[in-house]
Each structure stands twice: as structure tokens, then as C-alpha cells.
């Protein structure tokens, strides 16, 4: 099983809403990632979790709050977002973070902030 | 940080080989070259990676020059389903972790 699942597939939220994106993998991977992808642009790394600990935060605004409750789950909590935060949010996982492990990506959550 | 340069777009006739070039002249000696592709509105999909030697799997072949400054991804018999953005990826060193840094990619369009 090389599948990373993400829910929901689509999300529309207002600037005062609080919502969460969910990501799950059952490949035994110990590294999980959040990426943000704007239209016609490549994915940009937001956060990296390694062994359920946040190891990289790419200067992401605090209105994005990641959480890794266990080795299979990764959440991204959203609060007070701006319209420019509208994007495809991608989750990925890999065995580790040495750079020699393949990252497996989920299908993404397409977020629209009104 | 290693940077990659790719042509923004390429066309290929269905059934022919698609050869996608990538320049990575600043890549370090122990860093792998990765290729991913992204079909419209889907998550990126791993294709292949290599260090020094040429590599082949069920999806593609990867040819890396001897000086490691460039590589070519080869899809031997392109189909319409291979239409996608293809990313040649470098590794960025961040503390104790190495992370994928996506370049701008090549939009490959396979024509019938």
C-alpha cells in the first residue's frame, strides 16, 4: 500500500472560520510533510515532521498550525486565513528525511478562502 | 543549495520517446537527482532517482552525465496519459534533514 489519503478533497472557508485538513498513511513512514501549491507554480514546502516531532517550519504564518498526533496522521489546522492562502495543500510521507527516501504524495486538498 | 533548470514546455508525439532535459550544475557529489511528475490537479508522483549511474524502472530511464551537471529523463513510448508537468528536483539541506526543492518543471504534452 503506497497510498497517502487526504480529506477533504475540497474546502471553502471564510476568513473567520476554523477548519482542519487531514492526512493519513499506513506505510510505516516516520516523516510527513505539508506543501502548498499555488496555481501554475511548483509545490512549496511548509512543514516537516520527523518521528512525530516538527523538524522544519518554513517560516509559515501562525494561522497555519500543524499537528502530528501519531506516526500515521498529520493535520493542518487553519484559522483566520486570507484569500491569498487559497491553494492546493499537499501532504507527503517518506521513510525518513535523509534525502534518499522517496516521498509519496496525497491527492491534495483544494482550499478556497473567501 | 542545488538548483535545477528545465525547459518550460515540450511536445512529444504519442508512441515516440520523450526526452526531458535538466541542468543541475551545482548539485553536490552525494546528492541524488529525483524526478517527479504531476498530472493536472493531482499530487506529484515519484518517477525515478539516481546518483551517478543510469537508472531504469518500469516508468522511465534516467541518464546522468558523467560530470553530474545534467540529466535526461526518458519516457520510451509516450502515451496521452503521460501529459503532465515533470519536475527535476534538487535536495536542500536544512539542519539535519534534506528536503525536496521543486524547480519550475517542464510541461510535457503528448500529442495524438
**Does A1 score more than 70 pLDDT?**
no
Angstrom distances, CA of residue B35 to CA of A10, A84, A99? 27, 29, 13
Distance from the B92 Cα atom to the nearest Cα atom in chain A, whole angstroms: 9
B53 part of contact set with chain A, CB < 8 Å: no
- Inter-chain contact A97–B97, Cβ cutoff 8 Å? yes
- Inter-chain contact B102–A43, Cβ cutoff 8 Å? yes
CA B22 – CA B13 distance, rounded (Å) = 20
Write down the pLDDT at residue B27: 80
Distance from the A114 Cα atom to the nearest Cα atom in chain B, whole angstroms: 21
- Inter-chain contact A55–B95, Cβ cutoff 8 Å? yes
Arithmetic mean of pLDDT, A35-62: 90
- Inter-chain contact A98–B97, Cβ cutoff 8 Å? yes
Write down the pLDDT at residue A43: 93
Question: Which residues have C-beta within 8 Å of that of residue B41, sequence separation ≥ 6?
Answer: A88, A108, A110
Write down the pLDDT at residue A14: 92
Reference B2, options B28, B23, B21, B20; nearest CA is B28
pLDDT tens for B29-62 read: 778 889 999 998 899 999 999 988 899 999 999 9
pLDDT tens for A6-38 read: 999 999 999 999 999 999 999 999 999 999 999
Q: Which residues of A touch B32 (CB under 8 A)?
A: 99-100
CA A36 – CA A45 distance, rounded (Å) = 7
Nearest to A98 among B49, B98, B101 (CB): B98
Distance from the A42 Cα atom to the nearest Cα atom in chain B, whole angstroms: 6
Distance from the B3 Cα atom to the nearest Cα atom in chain A, whole angstroms: 14
Write down the pLDDT at residue A95: 87
| A73 in Cβ contact with A18 (< 8 Å) | no
pLDDT tens for A55-90 read: 888 889 999 999 999 999 999 999 999 999 999 999
Q: How confident is the model at residue B95 (pLDDT cuts 50, 70, 90)?
A: low
SS (H, E, C) A75-89: EEEEECCCHHHCEEE
Amino acid at each position: 500500500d503506497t497510498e497517502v489519503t487526504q480529506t477533504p478533497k475540497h474546502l471553502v472557508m471564510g476568513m473567520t472560520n476554523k477548519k482542519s485538513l487531514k492526512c493519513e498513511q499506513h506505510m510505516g513512514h516516520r516523516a510527513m510533510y505539508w506543501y502548498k501549491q499555488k496555481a501554475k507554480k511548483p509545490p512549496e514546502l511548509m512543514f516537516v515532521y520527523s518521528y512525530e516531532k516538527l523538524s522544519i517550519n518554513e517560516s509559515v504564518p501562525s494561522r497555519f498550525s500543524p499537528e502530528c498526533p501519531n506516526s500515521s496522521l498529520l493535520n493542518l489546522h487553519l484559522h483566520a486565513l486570507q484569500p491569498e492562502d487559497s491553494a492546493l495543500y499537499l501532504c507527503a510521507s517518506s521513510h525518513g528525511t535523509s534525502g534518499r527516501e522517496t516521498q509519496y504524495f496525497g491527492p491534495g486538498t483544494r482550499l478556497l478562502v473567501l | 543549495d542545488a538548483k535545477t533548470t528545465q525547459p518550460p514546455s515540450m511536445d512529444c508525439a504519442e508512441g515516440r520517446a520523450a526526452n526531458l532535459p535538466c541542468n543541475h550544475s551545482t548539485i553536490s557529489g552525494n546528492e541524488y537527482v529525483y524526478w517527479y511528475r504531476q498530472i493536472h490537479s493531482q499530487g506529484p508522483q515519484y518517477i525515478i532517482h539516481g546518483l551517478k549511474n543510469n537508472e531504469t524502472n518500469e516508468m522511465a530511464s534516467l541518464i546522468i552525465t558523467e560530470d553530474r551537471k545534467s540529466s535526461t529523463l526518458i519516457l520510451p513510448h509516450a502515451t496521452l496519459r503521460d501529459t503532465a508537468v515533470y519536475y527535476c528536483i534538487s535536495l536542500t539541506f536544512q539542519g539535519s534533514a534534506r528536503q525536496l526543492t521543486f524547480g519550475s518543471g517542464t510541461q510535457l504534452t503528448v500529442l495524438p
